[in-house]
Structure 1
Amino acid sequence: MVNDWVYVNIIWEERLAHPIAGHLTIEAIRPVLKQWLDRDHGPITFRVTQVLSGHGCFGRYLCNRLGREPTPICHECGAAEDTAQHTLAVCPAWTEQRATLVAVVGRDLSLPAVVKTMADSERSWKAVVSFCEDVISRKETAEREREEDPASQPMRRKRVGRRRLAYDRRLPP
């Protein structure tokens, strides 16, 4: 067991020492890496990964990385830029969910603080997962509705994943 941990630790440390992308996420996880890997609680979910990485239904990501949005604005509150951090800590649309989260993890919702508290306790882990699942699923639903809206901007592009392609093939001509 000890040798396994040493081997895993060496691999992770090497990969994290020279990242190509994900610098903010790596810097948040690196200080608690051993604790993160040794935890006995909580699988990481797809929506938690979106919040930790910033790759998800956030205006900045959809605009700048995927070209599926004409601007990086927050559709929920109108802020100039919608990011994972904006969604987690600032956007007034998620005040109720955030209040529940803050009651468990504390007021510091910076990425390093959230990652540390997730690694610290199962209760915190569950609170973060609950927030991410609720908020991101709502953002995904709103994104799909915008995709289907015929009045949406011409720049808006639909997802082109396997599910979308399979669905499109089943539609009548």
Structure 2
Amino acid sequence: MDEWVDRSKGALTYRVTQVVSGHGCFGHYLHKIQREPEPQCHECGAADDTAQHTLEECNRWAVERAALRATTGVADLSLRSIIAAMLGSERNWEAVTSFCEEIMSQKEAAERVREAAADALPLRRRRQGRGRRAYARLEPQ
């Protein structure tokens, strides 16, 4: 933890934070916050879509995962290994950041499509909180 806090390189991005924390467009997390009826992976059908599943297992991301392994030289893509690789060099930090940006942007786009679907369950639909309603009133029609 001290190495992470005291690092001299690498800024955290929103999507890297999602992968590290597990709080992103992962079926497990969306199910936990009651946005999904089940925690399954929409990409491969696995029973539990976690950040770790996305990093190590999901077939949908095999090409991106292979590129990450080739660049970093890390075979074990556990969170502990990924963080160690990130701290090891700026090149590795950039490779992991690039991986997270690519994967999470695609997962987010797929999530938006599922939210907007006409047959989406009410719990899936994008919620319209006070902030969103207030902002919508400001937009020209």
Q: How many residues align?
A: 139
Which residue of structure 1 aligns with residue 28 of structure 2? 60
Deviations 1:31-79 (A, max 9, x none): xx2x223333210100000000000110010011x21111111011111
Given that 2:19 and 2:100 are in contact with CA atoms closer than 8 Å, whether structure 1 keeps it comes out as yes
Which residue of structure 2 aligns with residue 84 of structure 1? 51
Given that 2:27 and 2:41 are in contact with CA atoms closer than 8 Å, whether structure 1 keeps it comes out as yes
RMSD: 2.0
Q: 2:8 aligns with which of 16, 34, 40?
A: 40
Q: 2:69 aligns with which of 94, 99, 102?
A: 102
* % identical aligned pairs: 55
The structure 1 segments of at least 4 consecutive aligned residues displaced by more than 6 Å after TM superposition are none
Equivalents in 2 of 1:102, 1:143: separation in Å?
Answer: 26
Given that 2:116 and 2:125 are in contact with CA atoms closer than 8 Å, whether structure 1 keeps it comes out as no
How do 1:87-166 residues align onto structure 2 when only pairs under 5 Å count? 87-105=54-72, 106-160=74-128, 164-166=132-134
Structure 2 counterpart of 1:104, one-letter code: T
Given that 1:67 and 1:157 are in contact with CA atoms closer than 8 Å, whether structure 2 keeps it comes out as no
Equivalents in 1 of 2:135, 2:43: separation in Å?
Answer: 28
User: Offset of 1:157 from its aligned partner?
Assistant: 3.2
Equivalents in 1 of 2:130, 2:61: separation in Å?
Answer: 31
Equivalents in 2 of 1:129, 1:61: separation in Å?
Answer: 21
User: Offset of 1:122 from its aligned partner?
Assistant: 0.5
Which protein shows a greater Rg?
1
1 or 2, which has the higher helix percentage?
Answer: 1
> Which region of structure 1 is more displaced relative to structure 2, 104-113 or 44-53?
104-113
Equivalents in 1 of 2:134, 2:43: separation in Å?
Answer: 30
Given that 1:58 and 1:84 are in contact with CA atoms closer than 8 Å, whether structure 2 keeps it comes out as yes
How do 1:10-21 residues align onto structure 2 when only pairs under 5 Å count? none
